[in-house]
Homo-oligomer: A and B are copies of this chain.
């Protein structure tokens, strides 16, 4: 967490308050917010925050592996500071996106490789259904 400064230094990146706030917020939430949602949250404490800065920051954080981009099939991207490989589940009614935790589907890569001539590096798995509130 405080090797964050180190990581940024290595990459010649500045650890600005804005970047720190965005990353900290992403670490604190499991809501998988979009850029817009991050912006709405952060602007409360950083009134000068611009949406462009949010976009630039999440891109930067993605590039250095601190957040992952999700695309659950909406018209926008969502972001997750939990960069471990894990499936996500989307509520078809309210739209919330949750993690599915404590399960390892990494065997799927090897399994799928039997049925294709690709070399498989990674996968994304999205489930769709109804959350406990909506069902």
Q: Which of A's residues lie within 8 Å of B, judged by CB?
A: 69, 71-73, 87, 89, 91-92, 98, 100-103, 105, 108-109, 111-112, 114-132, 135
Please state if A123 and B118 are interface contacts (CB–CB under 8 Å). no
In the complex this chain forms, how many copies of it are found?
2
Please state if A123 and B125 are interface contacts (CB–CB under 8 Å). yes
Instruction: Kindly list chain B residues whose C-beta atoms are within 8 Å of the C-beta of A119.
Output: 129-130, 135
CA distance A117 to B112 in the complex (A): 27
Please state if A127 and B131 are interface contacts (CB–CB under 8 Å). no
Please state if A132 and B117 are interface contacts (CB–CB under 8 Å). yes
* Smallest CB gap from A128: residue in B: B122
Please state if B124 and A118 are interface contacts (CB–CB under 8 Å). no
